[in-house]
């Protein structure tokens, strides 16, 4: 599948590299040419395995960094990996997402899927979708929260503890869910449970620190309660209520 990723920060690079490793054709777009050049000359990262995945993606041609926004045309899925900085508040995250989507919109085709990843205020996805519709863009907006742990991000993205797909109601949501299943075919093949929920639930989960896993090591100097708090800030989700597939 052809996929575009907007944003060459930590989140965008992680997703682009892992998607390429899963066999997708990935266009990684950013307006900062120096950031993209750093991918080719040696990215500084503490994430194990990320250097290798980046190198494999670049050498194979499945990962293409570019400042040319027109290069994203024809992608079936477009990931918005912006607005995820730790110091950003909700309004700043939404503003960054809106700017990225405004830049992307002229290159979106009918039936294509825009996927948000960051934690944002409830209703953000619906407002972004309404903006696209007002401009006559017939694309669908979905939300897939990041739940990877720092230092374990590559493993967590390729072998997740779960996948949560936030989609709109009706036929558009059914199509979005099918596309997301194809996007995450490698992850689903590992046995990861997939949960389909509404957009608001998925928006509230997108923080990027990971879902606790059975057997996770307890951090030195912390008791079990502290370790759980450090391992994940994900609130408990009534997944039985949103449906597993």
Tell me how far apart the alpha carbons of residues 19 and 12 are, in angstroms, rounded to a whole number: 10
What value does the CA radius of gyration of the chain take, rounded to a whole number of Å?
17
For the stretch 1-11, what's the b/e string if a residue is b when 16 or more beta carbons lie within 10 angstroms of its beta carbon?
Answer: eebbbbbbebb
CA distances from 136 to 6, 102, 132 (A): 21, 13, 6
Tell me how far apart the alpha carbons of residues 43 and 220 are, in angstroms, rounded to a whole number: 29
Tell me how far apart the alpha carbons of residues 140 and 109 are, in angstroms, rounded to a whole number: 10
> For 167-187, what is each residue's pLDDT tens digit?
999 999 999 999 999 999 999
> For 181-232, what is each residue's pLDDT tens digit?
999 999 999 999 999 999 999 988 855 444 444 433 322 222 222 222 222 3
> For 41-50, what is each residue's pLDDT tens digit?
766 667 888 9
Contact 200, 112 (CB under 8 A): no
Q: What is the CATH number of domain 2-213+238-242?
A: 3.40.50.720
């Amino acid at each position: 599948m052809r996929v575009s990723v907007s944003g060459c920060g930590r989140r965008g690079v992680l997703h682009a590299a892992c998607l390429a490793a899963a066999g997708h054709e990935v266009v990684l777009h950013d307006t900062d040419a120096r950031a993209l050049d750093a991918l080719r000359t040696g990215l500084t990262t503490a994430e194990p395995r990320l250097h290798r995945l980046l190198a494999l993606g670049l050498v194979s041609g499945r990962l293409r960094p570019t400042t040319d926004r027109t290069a994203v045309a024809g992608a079936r899925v477009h990931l918005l990996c912006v607005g995820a900085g730790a110091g950003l508040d909700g309004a700043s995250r939404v503003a960054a997402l809106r700017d990225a989507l405004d830049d992307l919109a002229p290159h979106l085709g009918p039936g294509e899927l825009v996927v948000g990843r960051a934690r944002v205020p409830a209703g953000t996805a619906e407002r972004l979708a309404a903006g696209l519709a007002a401009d006559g863009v017939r694309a669908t907006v979905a939300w897939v929260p990041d739940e990877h742990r720092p230092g374990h991000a590559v493993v967590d993205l390729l072998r997740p503890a779960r996948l949560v797909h936030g989609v709109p109601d009706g036929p558009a949501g059914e199509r979005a869910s099918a596309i997301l299943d194809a996007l995450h075919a490698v992850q689903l093949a590992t046995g990861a449970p997939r949960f389909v929920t509404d957009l608001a639930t998925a928006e509230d989960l997108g923080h990027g620190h990971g879902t606790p896993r059975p057997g996770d090591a307890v951090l030195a100097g912390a008791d079990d309660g502290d370790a759980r708090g450090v391992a994940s800030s994900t609130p408990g989700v009534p997944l039985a209520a949103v449906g597993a597939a």
